[in-house]
A and B are shown apart, each in its own frame.
Chain A
Amino acid sequence: AQKITQTQPGMFVQEKEAVTLDCTYDTSDPSYGLFWYKQPSSGEMIFLIYQGSYDQQNATEGRYSLNFQKARKSANLVISASQLGDSAMYFCAMTVANSKLTFGKGITLSVRP
């Protein structure tokens, strides 16, 4: 079974600063995918970034980058130059064999002006 752990209860960051949201995972399958989703207060689930287990380089998408450390089984999300609109709940998730997503408990990020 797969497991995603997000232990940070809530994060605060000053506008324009960078922030790292932690995620660790556990699976015995050598092939898996790691995802980050953003959920603002309106409720929709927005895809941010994807990292495959065999990808050699860390994924980047604009201001989002994924710090993938396979040996530590961690997949931390780094948001650079935080904006007020980044305030939301952030979920780390994984799939194995293109199956369903298993989510972590989520982290609340608040960006201060």
Chain B
Amino acid sequence: AAGVIQSPRHLIKEKRETATLKCYPIPRHDTVYWYQQGPGQDPQFLISFYEKMQSDKGSIPDRFSAQQFSDYHSELNMSSLELGDSALYFCASSLNREGTEAFFGQGTRLTVV
């Protein structure tokens, strides 16, 4: 069965650079979530989209932006990268229906040097 696809799997960037992370949700899933997991931390919600519209916003820095495209894939854009942005970034998708689990991608490990 198709899963959530994230690219790239690993990314190394220098401070003040920009990064774009991509997420391809499971077909027919209408909701996409982005989470950030720092080293030794639990995942923190960043932002979500339902049917290509932003549905919720969490602790996402102003330097970050995200969008969902007509083909339902989503991109997380990160600018002016800081050392503290080094983390595992997860995308998850689900159906907007009670009782359905969110399926996670394998994550993108971003290292800022």
- Residues on A facing B (Cβ under 8 Å): 31, 33, 35, 37, 43-47, 50, 52, 91, 98-106
Contact = CB atoms under 8 A, between A and B. Distances in A.
Nearest to A51: B99
Contacts of A105: 41-42
Interface in B23-63: 31, 33, 35, 41-45, 48, 56, 58
* Interface size bracket, B side: 20 to 34
B107 A101 contact: no
B33 A45 contact: no
A101 B98 contact: no
10 contacts: A43-B88, A43-B107, A45-B107, A47-B102, A98-B96, A99-B48, A100-B48, A101-B92, A103-B43, A106-B42
A48 to B, nearest CB: 9
Given A99-B48, A101-B33, 7 more contacts: A43-B106, A44-B106, A45-B43, A47-B104, A101-B92, A103-B44, A106-B42
B56 A50 contact: no
A99 B97 contact: no
Contact of B99 (A33, A91, A103): A33
**Most chain B CB inside 10 Å of its own CB: which residue of A33, A100, A102:** A100
Contact of B107 (A33, A44, A102): A44
Interface in B79-97: 88, 90, 92, 94, 96-97
A58 to B, nearest CB: 15
Contacts of B94: 98
Contact of A44 (B56, B101, B104): B104
B109 interface: yes
A101 B106 contact: no
A19 B46 CA distance: 32
Contact of A103 (B42, B88, B106): B42
B17 to A, nearest CB: 23
